[in-house]
């Protein structure tokens, strides 16, 4: 195996474009791995972790493109480099031939769309802060998709936004739906009267999709970025977004979604809840629910439950009845698991997740039913994997964590790593269950079946007794169509459940009975 790197000077492409090219290059014969990124210090660090760093990169700048290959031979690398050049040229040509005049600055965009009140920023973190500040100075709300923005800059931007009565969603905000328009990674959901504030992208997608699939609808979903609820930032935008939904005439029910905020932030959020008359449902995964309950919110125990409660309130239904139905379903899942376990071999579960929040939720469910699981992002540090590439006993992995995404597309876009892991884990005799999440919607892989079905068939060929369970986050109106994905997966023996909670409970019970 050969590892080789190249530097391209005087060119800039956004990270998504480079990730897509990298994904295409990995499909070439003889290429084991590839990464194409801008030469920021953060990207260099990630390349080192992935074993793709070359000494030639030491003196490169963040305005240069770093190209790294692992290949079988020099000739394979030459072909791959030529293909990279070809794809970059084609992208440049497409941009030049585009008949629509695209603005190249915020100022020009404002001239073309003088009434616009929101800008989505996806540039290198080094430049994102200045662009966001300019937008705020022009009275424009910001969705900051960019990451690698310092926490100091985040705080300053959010303080400025608060002073101006504006929102800064992010940095590293991947999901929002504003006035019915999905932004970045988002699902096509029903319009309705439920507003969501979330410091969790996949958590927001899961809750909004379940709400829509239950026949209720969404007014607004506002992402804040995960750091917003940390002590340093203090929940500035989480609280401002909560206020905005309280003032929104279309929003009748509010849902709050997050991983556990810092205690001081949780108290601030609770204090704000006391000022709001609208029904509020809260799910802070793994946090003590009592503080929210004391503030007057309805505290849910998981994402599915939060969606069910909100949808019931929206439709003027008794949510206790809906929750009782879920309890009955969970009892049936235990019985279903007994039957499944009769045909399983092995004793361990391997969870391969693209959604970090869904990964955490599954770990919590497993902890309550089976015990702690090993992970690259464990609930208990004693269960941190010694090597993230090698599973131990029951293991649940967040494949969207930085250590797996070194210059590569997010696993919601690129299924290649997860497909490889499905095949690898199925070969291990002790593995009985593989648990997956599939997140649909804009931004996600448009043809998930093309990648998943061959991998699952190969896994089942290697290990006919392997049990594969998945949930699908999304709706039938998403570009991929949830019902179609479900139907095709069931045809090849995959067990498909309606939520991550349902899939995780079933998988946990199967392990109990082995």
The residue whose two tokens read 């019970």 is: 509
Residue 476 covered by a domain: yes
Residue 167 covered by a domain: no
Which of residues 268 and 411 earns the better pLDDT score? 268
Same domain flag for 199 and 228:
yes
Interval 118-138: pLDDT, tens: 999 888 778 899 999 999 999
pLDDT-derived band at 94, boundaries 50, 70, 90: low
Question: Coil, strand, or helix at residue 214?
Answer: coil
Distance CA 229, CA 338 (A): 40
Same domain flag for 376 and 228:
no
Q: What is the mean pLDDT of residues 300-308?
A: 96
Same domain flag for 436 and 371:
yes
Encoded tokens for 467? 């049990």
Q: CA 363, 474, 300, 155 torsion: positive or negative?
A: positive
Encoded tokens for 202? 């996949």
Half-sphere exposure of 365 (CA within 13 A, CB side): 28
Interval 4-13: pLDDT, tens: 889 888 777 7
Interval 6-49: pLDDT, tens: 988 877 777 777 877 888 888 888 888 888 888 877 788 778 87
Same domain flag for 334 and 283:
no
Of 109-118, 163-172, 473-482, the poorest mean pLDDT is in 109-118
Distance CA 340, CA 481 (A): 27
Identify the helix (H) or strand (E) that includes residue 283.
strand 280-284
Q: What is the mean pLDDT of residues 51-61?
A: 85
Are β-strands 280-284 and 298-299 bridged in parallel, bridged antiparallel, or unpaired? parallel
Q: What is the mean pLDDT of residues 148-160?
A: 93
Residue 44 covered by a domain: yes
Q: What is the mean pLDDT of residues 332-339?
A: 95
Same domain flag for 294 and 416:
no
- Rg over CA atoms, the chain: 23
Are β-strands 467-473 and 348-353 bridged in parallel, bridged antiparallel, or unpaired? unpaired
Q: Which of 97, 123, 144 is where one domain is finished?
A: 97
Domain count, the chain: 3
The residue whose two tokens read 């029910």 is: 253
Structural domain boundaries enclosing 304: 190-317
Same domain flag for 213 and 79:
no
Is pLDDT at 89 greater than 50 in this prediction? yes
Residue 88 covered by a domain: yes
Q: Tell me, what's the pLDDT at 146? A: 84
Q: What is the mean pLDDT of residues 258-279?
A: 93
Distance CA 230, CA 232 (A): 6
Same domain flag for 347 and 297:
no
**Sheet hosting strand 118-121, strand order edge to edge:** 118-121, 141-144, 168-169
Distance CA 26, CA 332 (A): 43
Same domain flag for 227 and 307:
yes
Residue 195 covered by a domain: yes
CA 82 to chain centre: 33
Q: Which of 52, 71, 97 is where one domain is finished?
A: 97
Same domain flag for 34 and 77:
yes
Encoded tokens for 73? 């031979």
Mean pLDDT score across all residues of the chain: 91
Distance CA 196, CA 454 (A): 37
Q: Tell me, what's the pLDDT at 99? A: 47
Which of residues 261 and 287 earns the better pLDDT score? 261
Distance CA 453, CA 494 (A): 10
Q: What is the mean pLDDT of residues 284-301?
A: 88
Is pLDDT at 258 greater than 60 in this prediction? yes
* Percentage, residues of the chain above pLDDT 70: 97
Interval 447-466: pLDDT, tens: 999 999 999 999 999 999 99
Q: What is the CATH number of the domain that holds 339?
A: 3.40.50.261
CA-nearest of 466, 382, 376 to 428 is: 466
Q: What is the CATH number of the domain that holds 26?
A: 3.30.70
Phi and psi of 257, rounded to 5°?
-130, 130
Is pLDDT at 63 greater than 90 in this prediction? no
Same domain flag for 241 and 336:
no
Residue 435 covered by a domain: yes
Q: Tell me, what's the pLDDT at 216? A: 97
**End-to-end Cα distance, the chain:** 40
Taking residue 481's Cβ as centre, other Cβ atoms within 10 Å add up to 14
Same domain flag for 340 and 455:
yes
Residue 462 covered by a domain: yes
Q: Which of 97, 128, 155 is where one domain is finished?
A: 97
Q: Are the CB atoms for 346 and 432 separated by under 8 Å?
A: yes
pLDDT-derived band at 250, boundaries 50, 70, 90: very high
pLDDT-derived band at 418, boundaries 50, 70, 90: very high
Residue 166 covered by a domain: no
Encoded tokens for 497? 């459940």
Q: Tell me, what's the pLDDT at 95? A: 57
Question: Coil, strand, or helix at residue 150?
Answer: coil
The residue whose two tokens read 């179609």 is: 484
Interval 71-87: pLDDT, tens: 898 988 888 889 988 88
C-alpha to C-alpha distances, 296 to 100, 288, 307, 342, nearest whole angstrom: 51, 14, 18, 46
Q: Are the CB atoms for 384 and 501 separated by under 8 Å?
A: no
Q: What is the mean pLDDT of residues 101-126?
A: 82
Same domain flag for 339 and 428:
yes
Q: Tell me the whole-structure pTM to 2 decimals.
A: 0.85
């Amino acid at each position: 195996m050969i590892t080789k790197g190249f530097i391209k000077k005087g060119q800039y492409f956004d990270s998504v474009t480079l990730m897509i090219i990298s994904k295409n290059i990995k499909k070439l014969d003889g290429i084991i791995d590839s990464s194409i990124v801008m030469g920021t210090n953060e990207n260099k660090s990630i390349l080192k972790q992935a074993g793709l760093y070359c000494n030639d990169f030491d003196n490169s700048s963040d305005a240069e493109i770093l190209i790294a290959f692992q290949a079988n031979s020099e000739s394979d690398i030459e072909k791959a480099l030529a293909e990279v050049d070809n794809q970059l040229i084609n992208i440049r040509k497409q941009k030049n031939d585009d008949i629509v005049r695209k603005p190249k600055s915020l100022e020009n965009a404002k001239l073309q769309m003088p009434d616009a009140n929101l800008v989505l920023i996806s540039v290198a973190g080094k430049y994102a802060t200045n662009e966001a500040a300019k937008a705020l100075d022009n009275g424009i709300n910001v969705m900051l998709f960019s990451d690698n923005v310092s926490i100091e800059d985040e705080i300053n931007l959010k303080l400025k936004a608060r002073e101006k009565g504006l929102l800064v969603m992010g940095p590293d905000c991947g999901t929002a739906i504003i006035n019915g328009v999905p932004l970045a990674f988002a699902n096509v959901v029903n319009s309705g009267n439920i507003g969501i504030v979330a410091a969790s992208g996949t958590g927001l997608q899961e809750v909004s999709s379940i709400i829509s699939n239950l026949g209720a609808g969404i007014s607004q979903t506002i992402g804040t970025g995960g750091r917003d609820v940390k002590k340093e930032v203090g929940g500035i935008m989480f609280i401002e977004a909560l206020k905005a939904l309280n003032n929104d005439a279309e929003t009748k029910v509010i849902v709050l979604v997050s991983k556990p905020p810092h205690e001081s932030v949780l108290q601030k959020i609770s204090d704000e809840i006391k000022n709001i008359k609208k029904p509020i449902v809260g799910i802070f995964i793994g946090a003590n629910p009592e503080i929210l309950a004391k503030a007057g919110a309805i505290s849910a125990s998981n994402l599915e439950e939060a969606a069910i409660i909100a949808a019931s309130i929206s439709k003027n239904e008794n949510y206790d009845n809906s929750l009782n139905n879920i309890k009955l379903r969970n009892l049936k899942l235990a019985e279903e698991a007994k039957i499944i376990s009769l045909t399983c071999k092995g004793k361990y579960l391997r969870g391969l997740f693209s959604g970090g929040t869904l990964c955490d939720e599954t770990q919590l469910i497993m902890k309550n039913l089976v015990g702690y699981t090993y992970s690259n992002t464990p609930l208990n540090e004693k269960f941190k994997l010694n090597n993230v590439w090698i599973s131990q006993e029951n293991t649940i992995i967040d494949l969207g964590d930085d250590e797996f995404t070194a210059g590569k597309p997010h696993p919601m876009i690129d299924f290649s790593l997860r497909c490889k892991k499905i095949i690898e884990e199925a070969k291990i005799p002790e593995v009985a269950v593989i648990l997956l999440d599939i997140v649909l919607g804009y931004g996600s892989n448009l043809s998930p079946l093309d990648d998943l079905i061959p991998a699952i068939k190969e896994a089942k060929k290697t290990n006919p007794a392997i049990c594969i369970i998945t949930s699908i986050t999304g709706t039938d109106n998403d570009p991929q169509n949830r019902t179609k994905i479900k139907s095709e997966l069931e045809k090849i023996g995959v067990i498909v459940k309606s939520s991550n909670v349902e899939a995780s409970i079933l998988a946990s019970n199967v392990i109990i009975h082995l």
